[in-house]
Copies of this chain bind each other. A is one copy, B any other.
Amino acid sequence: MSHASGRHFLQIPGPTNVPDQVLRAMDMPTIDHRGPDFQALGQRLFGKIGKVFGTTNPVVIYPASGTGAWEAALTNTLSPGDTVLMYETGHFATLWKKLAEKLGLKPEFIAGDWRHGADAAAIGERLASDSGHEIKAVCVVHNETSTGCVSPIKAVRDAINAANHPALLLVDTISSLGSIDYRHDEWGVDVTVAGSQKGLMLPPGLSFNAVSNKALEASKSARLPNAYWGWGEMLEANSKGFFPYTPATNILYGLDTALDLLYEEGMENVFARHDRHAAATRAAVEAWGLEVLCAEPAHYSSSLTAVLMPERKGADEFRKSVLANFDMSLGAGLSKLSDQIFRIGHLGDFNDLMLMGTLSGVEMGLKTAGVKHRAGGARAAMEVLTADRTAGSISKAA
């Protein structure tokens, strides 16, 4: 790779900045995946990974990216032709729907405007009308990475329950897990889909299914063809600390370390940190006179903020200019938001001064690229970041 002076600012909403400790943990010799040292690693991982999902149930770890974990969630629980209710929160919800179609499912899509999280009431209504229980699963993206809107998962589960509907609840937490409060067990989620490269602070290459008992039960009768993604052999091998096929050993080393870092910081502190950085970012956006894409404050994402361009165009030129001038990668608008927005990732291994470098880069980029805005965004963010700091406070306890 070429080298510009200084560290690149990777401020897309994932992959995120990987801590040095995690990269170094991965930079160790690969070991025998059938030997005792691996077994100890496996048992350690399976013992501690549930905490970040908020579950005491099994978490399946795939050598795959998040897309694979979507496929795993569907193929383990459903049968050809099953109807699944999905919610159009944005680009990734749409991709998941397309994937369901490819697998031979019949997704029903509740339309959304890509500026809100899922509407639990709308889901409840649809389920209430499904007296024949044709709908086998409800699929929702917790944090829609393409828009920066969070869906209220607990409310969705409550709506399902209120409708007395047996549908499974499958949730994509790819860009929220380890960044935004999430509770697999408490919220009654059946399958939680996640990936390594966002809040878990790892390179891409691992993805996850946290699985409820109800989902496990459903997997026994599910008939979608399924081999690589099959939970059965996975869980059997996992119970002894092993995998049924060669796992991505070195990324597992990194996972071991990354979970330790998160738990050392404390999940409550991790969530509070993300909330605080998101608030500071929105203060900057407001001060610039720009608009946050997410139209519902209750749905604001704490892991990324999508920002509308003043005239809903020119975002790609702006991002290109920021990359060329300030060596920072920002997220693009995807599909129907293409060129209309840019996305600022503020998740993962991150802190106040990295955020200020990021927001200063956006502010300088807006000026340099000639985008209409008011100066003062970075300064407004500093107001937020200093509001809870005192001379003697400790940033780690943020």
Contact = CB atoms under 8 A, between A and B. Distances in A.
Contacts of A30: 10, 15-18, 197, 203-204
Contacts of A48: none
A147 to B, nearest CB: 17
A225 B225 CA distance: 8
A324 B389 CA distance: 10
Interface in A9-26: 9-10, 12, 14-21, 23-24, 26
Contact of A357 (B14, B353, B379): B353
B247 A204 contact: yes
A223 B39 CA distance: 39
A209 interface: no
B325 A393 contact: yes
Interface residues of A, number: 114
A205 interface: yes
A329 B9 CA distance: 20
A161 interface: no
A110 interface: no
Contact of A368 (B14, B15, B227, B391): B391
Contacts of A391: 317, 321, 325, 368-370
A246 B356 contact: no
A199 B135 CA distance: 47
A103 interface: yes
A382 B363 contact: yes
Nearest to A1: B37
Contact of A5 (B34, B103, B265, B357): B265
Interface string A189-212: 000000101000001110000000
Contacts of A273: 5
A29 interface: yes
Contact of A203 (B36, B250, B324): B250
16 contacts: A1-B41, A7-B7, A7-B29, A15-B246, A17-B29, A26-B250, A36-B323, A66-B246, A104-B225, A195-B246, A205-B249, A325-B394, A327-B353, A367-B382, A368-B389, A369-B391
